[in-house]
Amino acid sequence: MIKRMNDFLAGLPMTVVGGVFLIMSFVFPRTGIVLPIDPAWVTVIICGIPLLYLAVWRVIYNKGISKISSALLISIAMIAAIAIGDLFAAGEVAFIMEIGAILEDMTTNRAKKGLKKLISLAPTQGRRIIDDKSMNGLEEMIPAEQIRQNDVLRVLPGETIPVDGIIIQGETSIDQSIMTGESLPVDKGIGEDVFCGTINRFGSIDIRATKVGEDSSLQKLIRMVQDAENKQAPMQRIADKCASWLVPVAMMIAIITGFATQDIVRAVTVLVVFCPCALVLATPTAIMAA
């Protein structure tokens, strides 16, 4: 129930609503419009609850220094800003954090969509030529997983090549765009290699299977994309480490500032200024662009 509510608040529509109320909190006092409740409260609730949820979740489930994250520092700054009555600052840092989270989710969803599209290109069957002279080269359709190395396969125009192989008969043009990015089909003849998942555009060809199943080029590409999706980018790992060390440093400086000046507002200002908003936005934005 809590996670469902958190996911609803963290979505793009509710974040946009939070941004609208944050703008209202900034504009209304400057135009003489007075409301009984500061609109920034809506932003704090919409964007602040997912932020607190994330910070608490990482403290409970992450290990070591990774328990201390940018979400924790921004949560502390948000609570401190609320405590001194600066609701706009509290809503602002929470809103920026949510924008960063949305960009990160968009990057992840794009990667998953690309992976699903790649997996859908994997052929499911092939046309094997029966290796029996008495059968006079008759064909049989078999599942792709039953194709073995050195099997002879026939690929008709418009069909997807089921395995990596070498052409032993015929000439054609192959659409290799999923493997090489080439926009135009490539002419192929006897003795040339063809790749799993590419499309035979014109002539009929016979190929001898060289790499099948998990060894095929398409399956290797799918595994590479899966590994890349499961691993954090180096930039993201560095950002997480920076955030982990930033939290204790910010807390220490804020406490020292508060004791030295006897001014709680200055201490909270230190926390708000230390919030890694640029880090939160820059990392997913750079990864998305890449």
Secondary structure (DSSP) of 79-141:
HHHHHTT-HHHHHHHHHHHHHHHHHHHHHHHHHHHHHHHHHHTS--EEEEEP--GGGTS-EEE
Q: What is the pLDDT confidence band of residue 136, given thresholds at 50, 70 and 90? A: low
> Closest Cα to residue 18, out of 102, 80, 76?
102
Mean pLDDT of 281-289: 68
Instruction: State yes or no: pLDDT of 262 exceeds 60.
Output: yes
pLDDT for 155-204, tens place per residue? 999 888 999 999 999 999 999 888 777 778 899 999 999 998 889 998 88
Q: Distance between CA 258 and CA 266 in Å, rounded?
A: 7
Note the pLDDT of residue 231.
63
Element at 241 (helix H, strand E): helix 234-261
pLDDT for 20 equals: 94
Dihedral sign for Cα 153, 158, 164, 167, please: positive
Structure-token match 């990057």, residue found: 107
Backbone angles phi, psi at 66, to 5 degrees: -70, -10
Identify the pLDDT of residue 133.
54
Output b/e per residue, 141-155; b: 16+ Cβ within 10 A: ebebeebeeebbbbb
Residue 137: the pLDDT is 64
d(CA 245, CA 239): 10
The predicted-structure confidence for 82-116, as pLDDT tens digits, reads as follows: 988 889 988 988 898 888 888 877 777 776 776 77
Query: Mean pLDDT for the chain?
Result: 82
Beta bridge partners of 164: 211
Q: Return the C-alpha torsion angle 243, 244, 247, 249, nearest 10.
A: -100
What are the C-alpha distances in Å from 261 to residues 25, 79, 82, 178, 275? 29, 21, 20, 63, 21
Give residue-wise pLDDT tens across range 200-220.
998 889 999 998 888 888 888
Contacts of 100 (CB under 8 A, 6+ apart): 277, 280, 281, 283, 284
Phi, psi of 171 (to 5 degrees): -135, 150
Q: For residue 240, what pLDDT is reported?
A: 62
Q: Which of 108-122, 208-222, 235-249 has the highest mean pLDDT?
A: 208-222
CATH code of the domain occupying 148-211: 2.70.150.10
Higher pLDDT, 228 or 8: 8
* pLDDT at 69 > cutoff 90: no
| Domain boundaries of the chain, sorted by first residue | 2-117+226-289, 148-211
Tell me the three-class secondary structure of 145-194, residue by residue: HHCCCCCEEEECCCCECCCEEEEEECCEEEECHHHHCCCCCEEECCCCEE
Q: How confident is the model at residue 135 (pLDDT cuts 50, 70, 90)?
A: very low
Residue 15 confidence (pLDDT) above 50: yes
At which residue do the structure tokens 């602002």 appear?
Answer: 92
